[in-house]
Structure 1
């Protein structure tokens, strides 16, 4: 894994994600697809932010998860992604479709599940601030989320 350290300070995760998405030289060489699981690669790390490229074949998804207290944002670079959100441990009925060019920012307490429900591969760029130190995965039981495992940065 190559981590590029950039001295320039990035602003909010949403602003950073939008700016980095406009630089295909940064992310396009990292695009790859894994038929077994979502592919992800860290593209950039600064003192306060980090950026990841994720690729999604049809049917691939995350589990319900948080970002360990980091705020974040993502931009869809190709295809479309479906996001479902939860608040205070309860799954909302909200189903949001993010298409190519859409950018979405979120706060430090955000819990969501993202999936590629379409017929085409998808690519997205994610920025977190501060850098991810841990993430908790959840299972849904009748609309209520229960924590299952907390992973630390060393695990990914």
Structure 2
């Protein structure tokens, strides 16, 4: 059952200063290479106006939706991976694969780099035996792997992979 949008209730926003929500959204849109113009937004605004690369103008309206109390409150690994790659500075897009008809393929992600390389990433669940002395790969090991990619003359895809590894290590 779809929920109806309701007026934004600034007191219920999880952000410390909900009056700046429109400003934050406008800033996020400005970082997209596919959006050529974003109108200035002020605290308390309920809309954000922008223009895409084709010159089409759009207006985003901020409307709060009451949360579904029966909804599952779980963060799924595939969503986290797609969001992390999609938000990385060297990638344009990351999305779960979806056939023409049917549900999303939750173990296959397509990622597109800013240099035009497209990757199909496959998530595979593997259980690693944990012994007393070795645990999950520490961030230093991930950062070291990123540095090794950059030791000689790296290609654009190796550079993008190294940047992604450095981002993962930092988070």
When normalised by structure 1's length, the TM-score is 0.25
The structure with the largest alpha-carbon Rg is 2
Which of the pair is proportionally richer in helix?
Answer: 2
When normalised by structure 2's length, the TM-score is 0.24
Indicate the structure whose relative CO is greater, using CA pairs within 8 Å and at least 6 residues apart.
Answer: 1
Which of the pair is proportionally richer in strand?
Answer: 1
